[in-house]
Structure 1
Amino acid sequence: MKNRFIERLWISREVRLAIIVAILGAVGAVACAAGDWKIGIAVLGVAAAMVAAFYFAVVRPARIPHDAVLVIRLAGPIEEDVTRSPLDQIMRRGGLSLDHLRYALESAAIDNDVRAIVVEIAGFGAGLATAHEMHRLMRVAQQGGKRVIALLRGDDAGLREYLVAAGAGEIVANPDTMLTMLGVATGGVFLKNALDKLKIQAQTLQWKEYKGAAETLGRDTMSPAVRESMEAIVADWEKILVEAIASSRKLSHERARELIAAGFVTAKFAVENKLIDREGYIEDLRAEFDPESKRKAFVSLARYRRHAIFRRERGRRARIALVHASGPVISGDAPATGEYISGVATAAQLDRASRDDQVKAIVFRVNSPGGSAVGSDLVWRAVREAQGRGKPVVVSMGDVAGSGGYYVAAGADAIVAEPATITGSIGVVYAKFNLGNLLSELGVHFDFVKSAPISDALSFARAMTDAELAQLNETVGHLYAAFTAKVAEGRKLSPEQAEAVAKGRIWSGLAAKERGLIDELGGLSTAVAIARDRAHIAPDRRHQLVTYRGERRWLDFRGSSAEASTAWTTRAAASALGIPTRWAPAMLELLIRGGVMLLCPFIEL
């Protein structure tokens, strides 16, 4: 009752400013009436300056024309959350944030000032799960009465780009845009033969048979078990694409299945087969909405966000914390560039959110292929401690939340994933490189003084013996048992049920829902709704989603601009491995360092 009473007493920024200005005006008037003109004019000047600053810094940037057209450009990487240093913000540098896109589309869907949404698509770096979420957000806006138009304007548009476009009511493509409708394929890179030629021996252990990450170093092809899991993923992804495209483009499932594997097709072919509505250019759309070419109706994503925040973020509301964890999990020193999850830093963010008395629940957004076992465990423990403080934790999974990415989520109160999310991979791998033969060829030799025969077991100068590997395998087995036990505890499964869904196997969100590894299918908004329910926030009470981030320094150049500074060799390796470029530095460091890893196999559409 007390909180609701305080909420009713909330005073808007405008009213608070008006009160302060009125007080300053009264003081200035009294001073002038008393003959103290300098003080009076100074006080009145301060009042006028406050009004002017509020108008030019807050009100004017948030104004948009009536019947505005929101223009969103999808090009380049789409990051979960763009964390920029103050210097980056001043210089207006930064990538495209999924959080910003989500917020803008959800706001525009119910905004009477927006009559249409135009989404320009020119190739973007995101997975199928992200594309599917964008597709749904656009369909919701369309179903809410907004005119939603997608414009394919890149040199080519693959299935991910087309899935996003299919969420619009109208699809327009540049006449020279080629649609690459190549169906669904996935796989990984295998390095054993290359390592053999370099005289490098990779000794790997895996728990268990489906744990495909170790096969990258130890095999030349997929094992039958990993192929089985990949075939299931491909089948689920095809099902997701067929259902979404058939529904949005009013095609039969059979015809949609044929068209997503039509190959390399022209925009003309796409029109004739109802994949798109017409050929055209952005200038055609501008002329349609703004025949007089005044350009006042078109609103950018950044400008619209200012408008939406000004209009929507008002009043005292229940606070829900949002913590992002994106990239490979690390436990030690951070790589020089790229995106990663620091076990220590992410645990600290969860701890800070859980200790905030105003926070009613925590939404934990995870987009990670896993990595360090210790780093993952630190985050898992922080989730459990947050729950111990009475804060429900709901996980929202992105494109991938596998192995260590699933470990950090396993203890949450509820888990939400997209149908196309890659998750599970409950298993452990170990890798060690023997460079002795290569270095010997180069004339490099080693000599050790040891207290025991095993003392140099971790040296890259020699391979481990069978006895050493057997002992290590037993230890890795204990880590696997601890991992599956945490899954069984968090998901309320019996040990036998947990083992049946573990064994290192990856699952799509669809399959994970059927097996109890997640609770609901959906995006971040679904996770927020569950968090509200778990925190017993009344249906008629509004909430505020507050992002808890690590501290950034003024001269910190890491973050959104990191991808641009990544060496071309790293970008090439990322492309070969099928991982986001911004994840490559941390991922390559994990692989080179070796040791125990909770790492998901690399797959991409």
Structure 2
Amino acid sequence: MADVKQRNGFLGFIRVLWRGINITRQAILNLIFFGLLLIIILAAARRPLPLQDKTVLVIEPRGQIVEQYSIDPAQRVLARLSGERMQQVQLRDLLTVLRHAAGDPRISAVLLDTSDLQTGTWTFATLRQLGHAIEQFRASGKPVIAWASGYDQGQYYLAMHANRVLLDPQGGVLFTGLDSYQPYFKGLLDKLGVDVHLFRVGQFKSAAEPFLLNGPSPAAQEADGYWLGGLWNQWLDAVAKARKLSPAQVKSDVDNLPAGVAAAGGDLAKMALDEHFVDALATRAQLIRELRAYAAPGQDGHGFRAVSFGDYLARVQRERRIDDNRPEIAVVVAEGDIISGPQKPGTIGGAETARLIRQAREDKDVKAIVLRVNSPGGAVYPAELIRREVQLTRAAGKPVVASMGNVAASGGYWISMDADQIVAEPDTITGSIGIFGLYFNIPQTLAKIGIHTGGVTTTPWAGAFDMTRPLDPQVGAAIQQIIDKGYLDFVGGVAKARGKSFDAINAIAQGRVWTGRQAYERGLVDKLGGIDTAIALAAQDARLGKDYQVRYVEPRIKPFDRFLMSLGDSALASIALDHGITVPRWLAAFAPRAAGPLQLLQSARPGKVNVYAYCFCGP
């Protein structure tokens, strides 16, 4: 009886616990349901306010500027509905908004706040293109006011294109020049007993040096110093032109930073003003007063009438023509490391990107393709899958133009080389034509902890790639021959595509990195410019004139994700936010975050020779 009572008591406890969990679950679902219902009711009761005259467009990019989101739709929507700004903004959206706002009589000016923009050495090509878009907006007769709590040299590279550059009095403008440092792991690998075998072709193919050396080789220092110096000189020239200074003066101000700080008494804002990098110092309140010259007062009679970048983009997208029968130029984005297998946006899956090119080629409405490349490369085979589709598209009579973003090096150049034309920004990092193979084995590592291997084989080569065994020198020689052949294919392919001799390309290949301008001077690039230039060239090659539309061809979005995106970009979201109704921020924090670390070596399989066309010259 006692056992029966205990069982009944335990089962009763479980039933009560389950009932409590079920009630809690239903309560949470009801809260979410009624919250969405309230948003719908508000939307029905009140239509979105029309955009009024004398409105300032506020552009405050937060995080990174990317070619395509690597953050999934659910996280993007949750961020918007929780009142948070996303950590990514698409370049195409910024360009679209600036282009549309230039012809919108309701937009009287643009406020550009770069305080939360994340930039670096490898984003200058993107920033240059955005700067050109800002100058085109200014050509409409409307001003652009840049303001920030402080500028690094990337943020400034964008802000300097404004009519006026303002700085918070407690901020500063800090230019430090460019560098290319990376960690070297040889000492650690030696201590662990890991044997690293490198197979490469190219005097300057230094991507694997961190696993073999304790510092850069003389060849790597020579090559890196050349392209990095070229990039820095372009930065100096651009800043000098924008601020009506001489490049020598800008260089002197940067080189003599400590003296400038001392002369300003440690006041970085005053130093920036004295050196003419900013036009004035202004608090946010002073900024608002200045903007009142271009905008009507805000709804409360204070501030200024403004529309955010996100809201204005949603309006532009809603106003686009849906029934458009004009011929199309398809844009396929290849951004990130090139890796085998299916990949999410932000990383290039060779088969997936090849499928998108094939899809565009087989679409009768698509007359030309722009392959937008922002990649330091990766594994050779998936890169080759993409290149083949580019070649097949050209053979089918549809022009392909490669548009290089911040980085299009090594494998990024591989997938570009067979395009009809290659377009790069002067600040693009490209070249690095070379391949290498890496093989790791760990018999010494195992020996350190008393583990040894032994056994029998049926042939001399069975178990040759068992990472617990030493690498046979004959196997190493065979691998090097494979890498040699891969390099010949790469250089030969570039030579054929560029209409040059093998020797001419080999002389500028060797794994050496170039800026876009340096590559253009050496015949690796056809034209300098951004994606708009590439689209115009594609239209020209397809004989479309100016009557065409541009469509991004991307992986199919799941129906539920599409619903979430439409909800986040809809008037419902804007109305809810206007009413102060937001999703709790703790809920948004549960959304998955995009992976930031380098994934190339993570994709390497133990016991296998991994062959790469990769350049460790990306972010």
Q: Classify the TM-score, shorter chain.
A: 0.7 to 0.9
Give per-residue Cα distances to partners, 1:23-58, cap 9 Å, x unaligned. Answer: xxxxxxxxxxxxxxxxxxxxxxxxxxxxxx9xx89x
- Kindly tell me: are residues 344 and 509 of structure 1, through their superposed partners in 2, closer, same or farther at Cα, counting changes over 3 Å? same
> Which residue identity does 1:430 align to in structure 2?
G
CA RMSD after TM alignment: 2.9
Comparing 522-531 and 310-319, the one that deviates more: 310-319
CA-CA distance at 1:207 after TM superposition: 1.1
Q: Give the structure 1 partner of residue 583 of structure 2.
A: none
Q: 2:544 aligns with which of 521, 533, 537?
A: 537
Pick which of 406-415 and 482-491 moved more: 482-491
Say whether residues 1:113 and 2:106 are aligned partners.
Answer: yes
Offset, 1:83: 6.2
Find the residue that maps to 2:597 and give its secondary structure.
helix
Shift of 1:449: 3.0
Check whether the contact 1:364–1:395 (CA below 8 A) recurs between aligned residues: yes
Q: Counterparts of 1:522 and 1:411 in 2: how far apart (Å)?
A: 19
Q: 1:61 to 1:497 in 2, by over 3 A?
A: farther
Residue of 299, 322, 335 corresponding to 1:326:
335
Question: Could you say which residue in structure 1 is the equivalent of 2:253?
Answer: 259
- In the alignment, what sits opposite 1:584? 597
2:205 paired with 1:211 = yes
The one of 166, 174, 183 aligned to 1:172: 166
TM-score w.r.t. the length of structure 2 is: 0.79
**Alignment partners' CA distance in 2, 1:260 and 1:110:** 38
Whether the aligned pair in 1 keeps the contact of 2:329 and 2:550 (CA below 8 Å) is yes
Q: CA 1:556–1:595 in 2, change beyond 3 Å: closer, same or farther? A: farther
Matched, 1:548 2:553: yes
Cα drift, residue 98 of structure 1: 1.2
After the TM superposition, which residues 181-580 of structure 1 pair with which residues of structure 2 at under 5 Å, given as runs? 181-263=175-257, 266-290=268-292, 292-294=297-299, 297-309=305-317, 313=321, 315-332=324-341, 334=343, 339-539=346-546, 541=547, 543-553=548-558, 565=592
Q: Percent identity?
A: 31
How far apart, CA to CA, are the structure 2 residues paired with 1:592 and 1:174?
Answer: 51
Name the amino acid aligned to 1:589.
Q
- Contact 1:367–1:399 at 8 Å: present in 2 too? yes
The more displaced of 453-462 and 204-213 is 453-462
The number of equivalent residue pairs is 529
Q: SS at the partner of 1:468?
A: helix
User: What corresponds to 1:70 in structure 2?
Assistant: 57
In structure 1, what is the equivalent of residue 115 of structure 2?
A: 122
Q: Contact 1:62–1:306 at 8 Å: present in 2 too?
A: no
Change (3 A) 1:600 1:281: same
CA contact (8 A) 1:287 1:293 kept: no
- Residues 428-486 of structure 1: CA distance to partner in whole angstroms, max 9, x if unpaired? 11111122212221233323332223322222213323222111101110111111121
Q: 1:253 to 1:62 in 2, by over 3 A?
A: farther
Q: Any idea what SS the aligned residue of 2:60 has?
A: strand
C-alpha contact (below 8 Å) 1:62/1:307 kept by paired residues: no
Partners of 2:131 and 2:220 lie apart in 1 by 30
Residues 1:316 and 1:439: Cα distance change in structure 2 (over 3 Å): same
Deviations 1:484-514 (A, max 9, x none): 1211122222112221221111110010001
Q: Does 1:138 align with 2:134?
A: yes
Deviations 1:141-175, CA, capped at 9 Å, x for gaps: 22332211111225xx3211111111111111122
Deviation of 1:553 after TM superposition, in Å, equals 3.2
Q: Is the 8 A contact 1:372 1:597 kept in 2?
A: yes
Quote the residue 1:79 is aligned against: 66
Structure 1 CA distance, aligned partners of 2:47 and 2:497?
49
1:322-373 Cα deviation digits (max 9, x unpaired): 1101010011365xx8821000100000011111111111111000111110
1:599 and 2:595 are equivalent in the alignment = no
- Residue of structure 2 in register with 1:97 after alignment: 90
Residue of structure 2 equivalent to 1:578 = none
Unaligned runs of 5+ in 1: 1-52, 567-580
Shift of 1:389: 1.9
Distance 1:300 1:340 in 2: 30
Distance 1:338 1:444 in 2: 42
Deviation (angstroms), 1:201: 1.8
C-alpha distance 511-226 of structure 1, shift in aligned 2 (>3 A):
same
Q: Which deviates further from its counterpart, 485-494 or 501-510? A: 485-494
Assess if the C-alpha contact under 8 Å between 2:184 and 2:211 holds in 1: yes
Given residue 557 of structure 2, which amino acid in structure 1 is its aligned partner? Answer: R
Deviation at 1:89, TM superposition (A): 5.6
Q: How far did residue 205 of structure 1 move? A: 1.4
Query: Please, which moves more after superposition, 365-374 or 91-100?
Result: 91-100
Work out whether residues 340 and 379 of structure 2, in 8 Å CA contact, stay in contact via their aligned partners in 1: yes
Cα-to-partner distance string for 1:412-433 (whole Å, 9 max, x where unaligned): 0111111111111110111111
Q: Does the residue aligned with 1:164 lie in a helix, a strand or coil?
A: helix
Report the CA distance shift for 1:172/1:148 in structure 2 as closer, same or farther (over 3 A). same
What is the alpha-carbon distance in structure 2 between the residues aligned to residue 460 and residue 132 of structure 1? 46
2: CA distance between counterparts of 1:538 and 1:136?
23
State the SS of the aligned residue for 2:138. helix
The structure 2 residue matched to 1:150, chosen from 141, 146, 152, is: 146
- Equivalent pair of 1:181/1:262 in contact (CA under 8 Å): no
How much does 1:555 deviate?
A: 6.9
Measured at CA, do residues 477 and 238 of structure 1 come closer, stay the same or move farther in structure 2, by a change above 3 Å? Answer: same
CA contact (8 A) 2:56 2:107 kept: yes
1:159 maps to 153
Q: Secondary structure at the match of 2:599?
A: helix
Tell me which amino acid in the other structure corresponds to 1:194. Answer: L
- Alpha-carbon distance between aligned partners in 2 of 1:79 and 1:62, rounded to the nearest angstrom: 30
Q: Which SS does the other structure have where 2:156 is aligned? A: helix
Unpaired runs of 5+ residues, structure 2, are 1-39, 81-85, 262-267, 566-587
